[in-house]
A and B are shown apart, each in its own frame.
Chain A
């Protein structure tokens, strides 16, 4: 018996009409927006979001309601940015959410903007998501037409301008402050924090930045209440999560589950586990930037923010990449490092130089040109990166690569020796 999904965000996702306003309204679409705008005060909406315990689905897992409450009150230009720059290897949940149910996101943005008192909102979508951006453009136009966006929404004298902005193809622009710089038309580089975006963000104004999935949760929280939402998931990780499972599994894809389900069931029952009788060797529990867990460490953990953190990794964006026993961990480390080397913005020293150096050493290892010292140096370089960078991109390479060297040192030594022998021959 296969473990069932708990479809909340992806409910009715199979209906191709859902992406249109008419289709969305058939399933009570924009009911939450009407409730929030007509019957609730902004502070009530904010309180509902805080009470729900909804944690950010983009990676950091910070309480969404609390983040929104950090915005200063009072008359000033405030902004809301939806981070749709989903670019991390292994993550593809936002793509499906936007493609199948764009109005759910738009409704969530409109409600969050009410809570945050923001008059301008942006969806910063990665440039490669062309289809999804087209779908969003069409849906935003429908929402304007129907009076859910624009001036004087539902006659409540509240305005919201929503713009879909396509990124130009840099992973770093998913970092929230780099996203702001890119949106302002500058080179997409992270900013120093503090000041945090909630205080000084887009164009210097207070700015709330949330992930697509986070905002997609908002309509139902408002419609059904915080208590209903807390009925899913665990105490510290309430709600459902769309998990992208990929790598060595037979049925890769997005699965929506309650947070806290056993990881083993996610990988084996929903995604079908590795094929050909092979076994899971290790997996990234939260995208390519999370420290890998070995099968022994991770398979029997509940899939929640707190349990992944306790195991020394993180739930991140909720993207599981599975490596079975046919996968060479040193090659996987190299592939990971190459991605971050390619995407490092170059602003701060440890990330710019550390990703470059790590790739060079890992390349020599798998090509048989490494010295025995290199393994220690690779480990040391990762330690020298972690905690020393301007943003988390450097750590995002150093943590998984460091974990792989630490946990699979024997395999690294073996690969180095075998490759070295091959070169010598």
Chain B
């Protein structure tokens, strides 16, 4: 957009607008509503199909569609003349010719743009007396979405979503004229990770969610704005609540976070809130049924107190800032232990985090849209932070942004990337070193570690606004490579350039900043001596740790090396587990406390780009679940330490008082859209980077993998690494609508490896290492590296975490089942 400010006249009033924007949008800001069905700027260029927005523009004889007419200075527009009214009324009449008007049984009734526009702009009665067209109704477009083709207005919205936003290209208009209908090739189900968005886009009841059909009317429900905490995207959502239960989740447009889209996990995941496996009351080991709250808290406190000094630890996973803050206070202040960590196994060191998180290096999500180039490194956004996948696609499609992808495993973004390379798992640091050298022109042009960094460097070299989307693992243990990359790309110097982390935990940034790190307290203040997750595990086995709090984590399922975790938990004297669901970890716990879902919780979280967002209680808590902050405050009291926290606001006030760069941010500032602390009143209070020492740092990589060559003498078949799949976990297993997506264990191989191991797609194999064996089905994938296979972490059976980890990769034996 050119950005020039102009003035036009709409219905006699002056409207200020930006040259080139569409007349419909300019008029809207001037408080003139022009009705539309097909127009939706998020879907790209206007199509002008519905013809609802015809208006009169002086100097142009024919009526024009305001959705596709860019405004000019001095333009004079009329939207309520007889000619315009006549045309708009005619279009409504035409739209109703084949619309079944089955409003009384239509789920859209009451929140239907067609109803509203018919009332506002339509003729009020019909002259059409012939038969309407008929289709079978409704039919399954997918297992989650029903399509009623009779109701369709042919607005092209969902076709455009499929083709220009999700880019899955599955939806098409078939046939033509008034026989046109929306469908898929060969009537195959439309299965794609973002497909639920089409139900939000549909301006009639043609597309409805099976999870919401006939559940409620708009006047039965309340819309409660909150934030989805199922992944680090932290999309803004509205919960549709009836009788205090969530019946539907819809996207709540926030261009700074989600651009108005929502993935199917976030949309359809809510039925697990009512799963049978839900923990709905406190429970003590060995006791049948639930426990009294007071007894459970006393028991938990007694077990923690019984441990020797410093022999307690806490691991935090799914938690709000307030919850994480309270857990670390219990550890540090009530139990005098620094052993508090967040995550699964590894972590980022405090000084690296301080370096990488400097506001000058931080990217906003919005920066993706206007970037000259994007580097995706060490993450597949589709699995790790799905909505970023759409955001990056949008930049490439709409803005012509260059895209470079450097990962261990193929990503869904490879197809649209200018360069995509695969490096050896755990060689990220070495790859970064190559990339930095290549960017500065000092590389030797050879490709180490299997990936050609110069291809990536070529895409990034001349770009100014570079956004680096990096997976947390890139900085595990050593963030210097990432920092060197930021410097090589001059990120601090360019507005709109920045680093954006894709962490493993949904609220990883918030948890670190409120002090859930073994070497950092609230505000990333330096602390010394705590153990990380792996250290805690080993400590449990060796007796260094006797008592443990697990908050929103399931180590037996989600952490590497299941066997060691099982024995670690068995060796613990006392385990207090806060969990939403009963699982193999809660089965080993001495005290289990229920956790709230994100529809029930009140608290704040921090987006990976620094945006503080508010999770609001929207639905009632099932059973005897209580607010988590309250349980933690009471547990602290029972341990003899008064946190002084008596409400959620007081919890936030207390943490904001301890995190210097959160200071001064109020609930009101956070509001419904959140606020980045970097743009808040106390951003300057972020810890400063230590002065660099005079000597250049020589990067040394442990376990530096040499050129890998495969010889007959190898004692194993394949290096196997693991990834976290979008559909793994309770989201599919405990949630009936998504159960069909629950993945089976799959061994992904390159075509070369498949040939070498004489395997084909679909073969059943066993993958073994050091006595542990799991079964998997083979999938041969292009764009994989030879020599590296992938398994899925956290599957319900044959979990890859059962294989012992050896420096992150698994040297595995592969055998075909039955041979």
Contact = CB atoms under 8 A, between A and B. Distances in A.
B90 A350 contact: yes
A179 interface: no
Interface in B497-512: none
A344 B98 CA distance: 15
B400 to A, nearest CB: 12
A380 B87 CA distance: 12
Interface residues of A, number: 32
Give the interface residue-count category, chain B. Answer: 35 or more
B98 A349 contact: no
A364 to B, nearest CB: 8
A377 interface: yes
A394 B45 CA distance: 23
Given A348-B48, A350-B91, A388-B87, A192 B98 contact: no
B714 interface: no
B68 interface: yes
A352 B177 contact: yes
Nearest to A192: B48
Given A187-B172, A344-B177, A352-B178, A388 B63 contact: yes
Contacts of A361: 130
Nearest to A363: B130
A345 interface: yes
B128 interface: yes
Contacts, number: 96
B50 A348 contact: yes
Interface in B86-101: 86-87, 90-91, 93-95, 97-98
B179 interface: yes
Nearest to B67: A192
A407 interface: no
Contacts of B86: 384
Contacts of B68: 192
B113 to A, nearest CB: 14
A357 B180 contact: no
Name which of B68, B127, B128, B178 has the most chain A CB atoms within 10 A of its CB. Answer: B178
Contact of A343 (B49, B94, B175, B177): B177
Contacts of B4: none
Contact of B49 (A348, A371, A387): A348
A170 B54 CA distance: 27
A253 B597 CA distance: 78
A374 to B, nearest CB: 9
Given A355-B178, A360-B130, A192 B47 contact: yes
A349 B176 contact: no
A357 B128 contact: yes
A344 to B, nearest CB: 4
Given A349-B94, A388-B87, A390-B49, A356 B173 contact: no
Contacts of B45: 192
B62 interface: yes
Name which of A343, A387, A389 has the most chain B CB atoms within 10 A of its CB. Answer: A387
A84 B173 CA distance: 26
B154 interface: yes
Contact of A346 (B63, B94, B179): B179
A351 to B, nearest CB: 8
Contacts of A35: none
Interface string A346-380: 11111011111100110010000001010001001
B48 A390 contact: yes
Contact of B154 (A343, A352, A356, A380): A352
B46 interface: yes
Nearest to B177: A344
A407 B477 CA distance: 86
Contacts of A353: 94-95, 97-98, 178
Interface in B46-79: 46-52, 54, 62-63, 65, 68
A78 interface: no
B51 A345 contact: no
A341 B156 CA distance: 20
A354 B94 contact: yes
A357 B130 contact: yes
Contacts of A342: 177
Contacts of B172: 187
Nearest first, the 3 A-B pairs at minimum CB distance are A384-B90, A346-B180, A353-B94
Given A346-B179, A352-B178, A388-B54, 14 more contacts: A192-B46, A192-B47, A344-B177, A345-B176, A346-B175, A346-B180, A350-B90, A350-B94, A352-B177, A360-B131, A387-B62, A387-B63, A388-B90, A390-B48
Interface of B: 45-52, 54, 62-63, 65, 68, 86-87, 90-91, 93-95, 97-98, 127-131, 153-154, 156, 172-173, 175-180
5 contacts: A344-B177, A346-B175, A349-B94, A352-B177, A371-B129
Interface of A: 170, 172, 187, 192, 341-350, 352-357, 360-361, 364, 371, 373, 377, 380, 384, 387-390
